[in-house]
Structure 1
């Protein structure tokens, strides 16, 4: 069974579905009810191209998902948040059903290179889809004074989305009123130094940079999943690593630095679903790289052949003739000659 997400409601259903088909599986797809237009389109069009006796689409909300979880599945593939993932894992445990849980977390960015190119890459990765991407940078740990970096981040936002991003055609809206209200509350948990505008009618929040955030507030304890980017100053690379280590393992961790030494240390010491240097978000589109989390950010990985392997049973098969019993040398009783033969075999 594939339980889809609402932030990329088409891609995050089709990617595991393709892996399931490639591995020779039947599949039941339960799209997210928070993206009703896409859910309806999947229910309408998938049966036109795939045999609905083998690939079924079942629409519905929490009650539907709960009923589906009672059934015995060969595998459950879920993309979403940690709270629902725990419910799915508990239901799967009743039948010892394997799961792939693609979650999220607070993906950190450590910045040692404060250049405009760094700022542009961070702005692109953070504010694509209005920040509603599971591997979007969640917060920045800036080594040293962050003033120059913040200025360049604002410059990059203006160059991408203009002076009025709330009306820019390339900047998205928040998916639901519930998430919109959750994000507005975060704007009160620190100093807004860029952006902060919002439109309640269209559920849009402008790309926002924050400083002096409350490290104990939800903006720093829960995944933001929206167009709000806190910037936190740290005095050293070591302090940044310790900051990350004190928090649950994220789906991705990013380092913006040209130093091979720092890159090597970052890769060795940071526990995350993926480690990326200087190119945040781009790991998602490289099919040869496995995509998945670790710890609180999920379990199992897919994309490309990794999805095929994940949704396949690796079943060994052995065939040996009995016409000539070549195994007789290992049967007891064990003479000195047999022991020598066994020693050679081992």
Structure 2
């Protein structure tokens, strides 16, 4: 019998109900905690005395942001330059020494980063290391002061397990199946334009791309011709000849994606060319939740549509799956978009567009739960690679004032200490 199961289930259900989210609820809980301390002061003092036998406004308190030390950045293949250099900027700006491990899959970019980039940096503080999974595993056996990884959840678990052996902090930028809810109250062509652009950008090989659509059967009927129109306008009658449509990175990924085309049935696209690693911009309908295309991140130019009867059903579908890296909602009603935002959780969110939120430097980019931990972009990158060191500088004098804290503790001294420890903005206790 698990003694914790009922309690944990009760708390999980309470959180899922949304009762902890309103500001009024949070304020009430904090006020309750304050009352607990005030109304039980004597009881708590007696308990502390039994357990431990114990019962600054003149100082300078500040946060000093310091580099961690030796940092490892492991980059992916889908945006091999951007996702190598963005974290590298933050790590260098924070003052760290950096080991950069580019992806061996994007071979040409790996070669440039290894052979050319070190010429522009102080090589006593920076290095590029090469290799595949075996070499990365050997690298992770070493102790680093911080590890920044971008890639799949599967490999993220390996990185985190290796880091745990040295108690090394990590940022994990992972992926996930990013939902795209399309409300009945929308302009189907506008939605189709935006979804198609962001789904098929980089041939779908983007961790924040819309991974699947949730909509009613009626909206699906309106959306399909609009998606076909958008795909044709973007990539022409023969998308394979379009200079704007990318190719799948490897034969292995091509075969995996081609296998997903058997899920549901193809409504748009579906053509493939193994010799060119080409997969046409594709839309699947009649897809079941249990099929492979809904069980893994697609990472390719395939867009499944699943039908839901209502917004409530869409929200429940999203909430009962792992938290995604990004979530999208399309509606002419701002209330619908806000409701999706309020009742779900994801690394990032965008209403009525694709992954433009990740291009705003003033917003952090990162996952939550299975889609990652930690964030970066802009100043958030600097903060991620910095240890926030809490510091207090005390004057060497005024010993008569500070002597109040030393035992033996008289009733008068305790009263003065308690008064000094009361919460005030920008104050420090005599302790």
- The residue correspondences of 1:182-331 to structure 2 (distance < 5 A) are 182-325=256-399, 326-331=401-406
Query: What is the CA-CA distance between 1:117 and the residue it aligns to?
Result: 1.1
Contact 2:288 2:306 in 1 (8 A): no
The Cα of 1:144 is off from its aligned counterpart by 4.3
> Unmatched 5+ residue regions in structure 1?
none
Map of 2:207 onto structure 1: 134
Structure 2 counterpart SS, 1:302: coil
TM-score by length of 1: 0.98
Instruction: Please list the CA deviations of residues 102-135 of structure 1 after superposition, one character each: whole Å capped at 9, or x if unmatched.
Output: 0110000000124211111101110000000000
Residue 338 of structure 1 aligns with which residue? 413
Q: Where does structure 1 differ by over 6 angstroms across 4 or more consecutive aligned residues?
A: none
Aligned partners of 2:212 and 2:288: how far apart in 1? 13
Distance 2:415 2:168 in 1: 45
- Higher Rg: 2
In structure 2, runs of 5+ residues without a counterpart are 1-71, 423-431
SS in 2 for 1:314: strand
What residue number does 1:180 align with? Answer: 254
Q: Distance in 2 between matches of 1:115 and 1:62?
A: 44
Cα distance in 2, alignment partners of residues 172 and 75 from structure 1: 34
Give the distance between the partners of 2:258 and 2:301, measured in 1 at CA: 11
Q: Distance in 2 between matches of 1:327 and 1:46?
A: 55
In the TM superposition, 1:47-66 aligns within 5 A as: 47-66=118-137
Report the Cα offset of residue 303 of structure 1.
Answer: 0.5
Matches within 5 A, 1:24-63: 24-63=95-134
Q: Is 1:124 matched up with 2:189?
A: no
In 2, the alpha carbon distance for the partners of 1:312 and 1:30 equals: 20
Q: Displacement, 1:333? A: 2.2
Written as runs of structure 1 = structure 2, the 5 A alignment for 1:136-175 is: 136-145=209-218, 146-175=220-249
- Kept in 2, the 8 Å contact 1:23–1:311? The answer is yes
1:53 Cα deviation after fit: 1.6
Q: How many Å separate the matches in 2 of 1:52 and 1:196?
A: 48
Q: Which moved more, 1:289-298 or 1:211-220?
A: 211-220
Deviation at 1:219, TM superposition (A): 0.3
1:23-62 CA distance string (max 9 Å, x none): 1111000110111111000001111111122110011111
Number of residue equivalences? 346
Deviation of residue 274 (structure 1)? 0.8
In structure 2, C-alpha distance between the alignment counterparts of 1:303 and 1:144, rounded to whole Å: 38
Residue in 2 that maps onto 1:97? 168
CA distance in 2, matches of 1:143, 1:327: 69
